[in-house]
Amino acid sequence: PTYEDFRRSDEYHNSFLIGNDAVLDAAQNHSKEGGLPDIAVSAAQGKLLNLLAKSISAKRILEVGTLGGYSTIWLARALPDSGSLTTLELEEAHAKIARENLANAGLADKVDVIVGPAADTIKTLEPNPPFDLVFIDADKPGNLVYFTESKRLVRKGGVIIVDNVVRRGNVANTEYTDPSIEGVRALLKAIQGDKEVEATTIGTVGEKGYDGFLYAIKN
C-alpha cells in the first residue's frame, strides 16, 4: 500500500466514526496560517487519545509537546467539568496559537499551557493530585526524561502514551542512529526490566504515515 492508500483509508473510516468538526478544522487552519509544521496527531489518533482518556475517567491529564493544541483539544474534551489538563511547550509562538485554538474550542479554563523546555518544567510539577494520563509528543531525545518524570506524576494504574516510537520501522533498523531514533531506543531499553510499568507498542498507519504509540500503565 502507498501513502495515498493510508490517507484514503483514514478518510473512509473517519467519515463513519468522526465526521466534520468545525472547531478542530479551525484549529488546524489557524495553526497552518501561523506557520506551524504539519506534525499534529491525525484525527483518528486524536480520537483514540480522547477515548482512552474517557475509558479511564481521566480527570487530570498532562501533555508534553503542545504545538497548536490539536491533540490538546481532543484530550481536554474527554475531561469532566472539574477536570484539568497541563500541556508543556518549548516555543512561545506555538503556545500562543495553542491558547487561541483552545479558547476558540471553549477549553481555555481547563487547560494550562506552560512555556519552556519540558525537561525543566515537568520537574516542577507535583502529583497533588496525581495525573491519570500523560501524552508524550515533544522532542524525541527527551523521551526518557519525560517518561521517568511521568511515572512520578501518574497514579497507580495511570496511563503514559508516547507518540512516534516506530518511525517507519526505522527504530528497529540499526543503520539509523539519529537522535530521535536513539531517544526512542533509550526509552525502550529503560522500560525493559522496569517493574514499575507494563507497556506495549502499537503500530499506527494512516494519513500520518507509518509510526506507533507506546502505551504504558503504572503498576
Helix (H, G, I), strand (E, B) or coil at 36: coil
- Binds ligand SAM by CB under 6 A, chosen from 137, 184, 206, 216: 137
- Alpha carbon separation from 46 to 24, 66, 74, 135 (Å, rounded): 10, 13, 6, 11
Least distance in Å: CB of 219 to ligand SAM? 26
Q: Which stretch binds ligand SAM (CB under 6 A): 50-58, 61-69, 150-158, 176-184?
A: 61-69
Contact between 53 and ligand SAM by CB under 6 A: the answer reads: no
Contact between 100 and ligand SAM by CB under 6 A: the answer reads: no
Query: For residues 128, 129, 132 and 136, what is the CA-based torsion angle, rounded to 10 degrees?
Result: -20
| DSSP states along 148-188 | HHHHHHEEEEEEEEEE-SSTTTGGG-TT---HHHHHHHHHH
Contact between 142 and ligand SAM by CB under 6 A: the answer reads: yes
- Binds ligand SAM by CB under 6 A, chosen from 39, 103, 172, 202: 39
- Alpha carbon separation from 186 to 135, 140, 142, 180, 181 (Å, rounded): 18, 10, 10, 10, 9
Least distance in Å: CB of 77 to ligand SAM? 13
Contact between 41 and ligand SAM by CB under 6 A: the answer reads: yes
Q: Which stretch binds ligand SAM (CB under 6 A): 33-41, 78-86, 182-190, 204-212?
A: 33-41
Q: Which of 143, 156, 153 is nearest to 213 (CA)?
A: 143
Sites of contact with ligand SAM (CB under 6 A): 39-41, 65-67, 70-71, 88-91, 94, 117-118, 137-139, 142
